[in-house]
């Protein structure tokens, strides 16, 4: 047995191992480049592509050889393949000898057709009733807080947490905007709303009432 055959036989074992590890939708082909017209010497899970042992090199494989990418890369990963209406995610490992001469290729084709179908169905389900153009518009987000305190903290985040501010560093207009936003969300209509805001902002309740009165006068 030649040195090349010894090397290729080792990769044949690896190919069989991969095909059994990852299931029947994963096809593995060992190519022996000493005979391009019958290079596919062993094909595991061949029902993915329908090819048989001894199949010729694919056009893509020939292009890889023509490009000589194997001189700078050990493998190429995750390119798209199509066969018999199936969509494949394919990868190729270049098999070389100790002198870096190319002997063969180990190709892995994953049939992702059913996953793409599932992905589309899940996407359709997730966005059912939502128009595509609406997804491109600024979103109107519905909050689901667990408590008044959480609701207040969420409402304050865009003014305080997001910008790294604290109440004491805001100017009067910014403070009024905070109170206006909370009032618009109905925070002050909730039982304990005033006291929760007072605690979160670390200011007195009379101060909140004062700002709230200013906001209401501005809106009237």
Could you read off the pLDDT of 109-133 as tens digits, one per residue?
Answer: 999 999 999 988 888 888 777 766 6
Task: Supply the DSSP string of 183-212, one letter for each residue.
Answer: HHTTGGGSTTHHHHHHHHHT--HHHHHHHH
What is the band of 173 on the pLDDT scale with cuts at 50, 70, 90? confident
CA–CA separation, 220 vs 216, rounded Å? 6
CA–CA separation, 168 vs 17, rounded Å? 65
**Residue 44 region by backbone torsions, left for phi larger than 0, else alpha for psi between -120 and 50, else beta:** beta
Q: Name the pTM for this structure.
A: 0.58
């Amino acid at each position: 047995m030649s040195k090349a055959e010894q090397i290729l036989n080792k990769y044949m074992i690896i190919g069989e191992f991969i095909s059994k590890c990852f299931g029947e939708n994963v096809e593995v082909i060992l190519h022996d480049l000493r005979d391009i017209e019958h290079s596919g010497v062993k094909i595991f899970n061949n029902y993915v592509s329908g090819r048989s042992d001894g199949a010729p090199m694919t056009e893509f494989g020939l292009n890889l050889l023509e490009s000589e990418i194997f001189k700078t890369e050990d493998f190429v990963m995750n390119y798209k393949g199509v066969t018999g209406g199936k969509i494949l995610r394919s990868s190729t490992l270049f098999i070389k000898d100790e002198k870096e001469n190319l002997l063969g290729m180990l190709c892995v084709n994953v049939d992702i057709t059913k996953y793409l179908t599932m992905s589309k169905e899940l996407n359709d389900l997730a966005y059912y009733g939502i128009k595509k153009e609406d997804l491109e518009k600024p979103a109107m987000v519905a909050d689901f807080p667990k408590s008044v305190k959480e609701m207040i903290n969420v409402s304050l985040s865009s003014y305080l947490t997001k910008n790294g501010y604290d109440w004491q560093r805001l100017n009067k207009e910014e403070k009024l905007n905070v109170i206006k936003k909370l009032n618009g969300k109905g925070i002050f209509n909730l039982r304990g709303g005033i006291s929760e805001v007072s605690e979160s902002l670390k200011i007195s309740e009379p101060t909140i009432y004062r700002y709230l009165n200013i906001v209401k006068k501005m809106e009237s």
